[in-house]
């Protein structure tokens, strides 16, 4: 995101490069939590920043619903309550795209739970 702040391209120029409307770019510059995981990955690629974290996160997010099928029911429910995302929502986001605000929220919850 710091590269985005330093970027000299206007919203319209940047929108063409990453495949969003200029209005969407403007909204996301004002509210960074509106970015979606695939958009962050395209930004990183544009700015020549490694996209490894995006790929790893995406892989883990797609694996988790499969892991839930082999988890004990009580553990699965505990995780769903912690993350505030049900399995069906999880799968929907895996098929569409993950809003960064949900990823940040899950990160905070899991960090506190692991302390």
* Low-confidence stretches of the chain (pLDDT beneath 50): none
96's CB contacts (< 8 A; 6+ apart) are none
Can you give the pLDDT at residue 8?
86
Distance CA 78, CA 115 (A): 16
Residues 18 and 44 placed together within one structural domain of the fold: yes
Residues 39 and 82 placed together within one structural domain of the fold: no
Can you give the pLDDT at residue 81?
87
What range defines the domain where residue 99 resides?
53-113
- For the question of whether the overall pTM of this predicted structure is more than 0.75, the answer is yes
Residues 77 and 32 placed together within one structural domain of the fold: no
Q: What is the DSSP code (8-state) at residue 71? A: S
Residues 64 and 98 placed together within one structural domain of the fold: yes
Residues 76 and 27 placed together within one structural domain of the fold: no
Can you give the pLDDT at residue 36?
94
pLDDT in tens, 64-84: 888 888 989 998 888 888 888
Residues 19 and 68 placed together within one structural domain of the fold: no
C-alpha pair distances (Å), 9 with each of 47, 50, 55, 96: 12, 21, 26, 28
Can you give the pLDDT at residue 115?
65
Can you give the pLDDT at residue 24?
95
Domain count, the chain: 2
Can you give the pLDDT at residue 95?
93
Residues 60 and 28 placed together within one structural domain of the fold: no
Residues 43 and 57 placed together within one structural domain of the fold: no
Residues 72 and 28 placed together within one structural domain of the fold: no
Distance CA 12, CA 26 (A): 9
């Amino acid at each position: 995101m710091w590269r985005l702040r330093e970027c000299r391209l206007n919203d319209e120029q940047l929108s063409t490069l990453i495949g969003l409307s200029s209005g969407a770019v403007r909204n996301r510059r004002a509210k960074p939590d509106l970015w979606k995981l695939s958009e962050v990955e395209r930004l990183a690629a544009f700015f020549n920043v490694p996209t490894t974290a995006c790929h790893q996160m995406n892989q883990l997010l797609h694996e988790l619903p499969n892991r839930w099928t082999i988890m004990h029911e009580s553990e699965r429910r505990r995780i769903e309550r912690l993350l505030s995302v049900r399995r069906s929502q999880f799968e929907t986001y895996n098929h569409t795209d993950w809003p960064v605000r949900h990823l940040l929220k899950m990160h905070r919850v899991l960090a506190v739970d692991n302390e």
